[in-house]
Structure 1
């Protein structure tokens, strides 16, 4: 991480978003730990990680925006295996986007694999770009800040870091479930008011 510097962090976070197998859960805490050792500055780590993620999100949005459904699915069927992506993954992300709307872009930035996929349906549905980038930026900055701070403050204690990540996974899942329940409740209430 020290030898890669800020530019390297941005590149790795770009790749994390484009190629789901490269996890930000390793990149950002490692960069945060390097900052705690004095070789990098924490705010620089957060900014470079966020920039790399957002450039990738904008690129994937553009792919979804420019190409029609059948072209994207054809490409994924042919080349998706090289980046561990399947047509069923894209289909699933489209359904999420249709069901939960623009808010899934915000939450999706904090969920592994989903952060890579959610940008494509946002582009395919022609979500306003400024809105997409706003939701993406909020989710990305929160997530990269959290990961970098975990590495910065707890980098020397691997067991504690592992415990934090396992607990955070449950918290994010709980928040997403809560969001879905609220959404379904409001939707059913709206339907009952229409009757």
Structure 2
């Protein structure tokens, strides 16, 4: 797989060198380990790792089935680790932490909890196909103690779809596999922008609804009178 490492580094560092080294040394299991780490550390680029693995398949350096199985297993292992973090954190600790955050109310957590109880299965499945959230969605699933067989089934299916799409894209594009990265990078930026706007809107609404000193003062004088 040395040829892969040489190509990715000369193309402006599209793939981190350690990913090349891992796949060069271990083959398909190395791709699985890289994807497991990507789930635990979202900034790691799955949109680079998977097409690169697909390119390796097209070059005859890995088997397609082995890559799909190992990368999906890596996704499940990483998601399971974050599920464990959420389970250890638990609902009571989550509520206690949220109560200490500025502008966040316990009622917000309760509403989120109610939403997750209604739509958690869809969130876990479709969340596997949304950058950033594909990793983070495992934490509330653990907090709410989603049944483990359900969580594993949804995670496996959603991750298999995501991984297969990118591996096959890298396989089909061959030497141009890095084109996948630019497309998904734009998608990721849109998702991140939407998330930032949502957070800013939430903060803005809370600040506008917060009673100011003048309102409290008038209320206090009225009560005294």
Q: What's the TM-score once normalised by structure 1's chain length?
A: 0.68
Residue 62 (structure 1) aligned to one of 78, 81, 84: 84
- SS of the residue corresponding to residue 67 of structure 1 reads helix
Q: Which runs of 5+ in 2 are unaligned?
A: 1-22, 98-108, 192-225
Q: Distance in 1 between matches of 2:178 and 2:164?
A: 20
Q: Indicate the residue corresponding to 1:192 in structure 2.
A: none
* Cα RMSD for the two superposed structures: 2.9
Cα distance change on mapping 1:41 and 1:158 into 2, 3 Å: closer
Q: Which runs of 5+ in 1 are unaligned?
A: 76-90, 174-195
Q: Distance in 1 between matches of 2:80 and 2:182?
A: 32
Residue 147 (structure 2) aligned to one of 128, 143, 146: 128
Residue 97 (structure 1) aligned to one of 116, 133, 146: 116
Q: Distance in 2 between matches of 1:8 and 1:74?
A: 39
- SS of the residue corresponding to residue 21 of structure 1 reads coil
- Contact map agreement 1:110 1:143 (CA 8 A) in 2: yes
Instruction: Report the structure number with the largest CA radius of gyration.
Output: 2
Residue 49 (structure 1) aligned to one of 71, 82, 87: 71
Q: Which has the higher contact order (CA 8 A, sep 6+)?
A: 1
Aligned residue pair count:
154
Q: What's the TM-score once normalised by structure 2's chain length?
A: 0.60
Q: Distance in 2 between matches of 1:18 and 1:37?
A: 29
Q: Indicate the residue corresponding to 2:35 in structure 1.
A: 13
How far residue 97 of structure 1 moved from its aligned partner, in angstroms, is 3.5
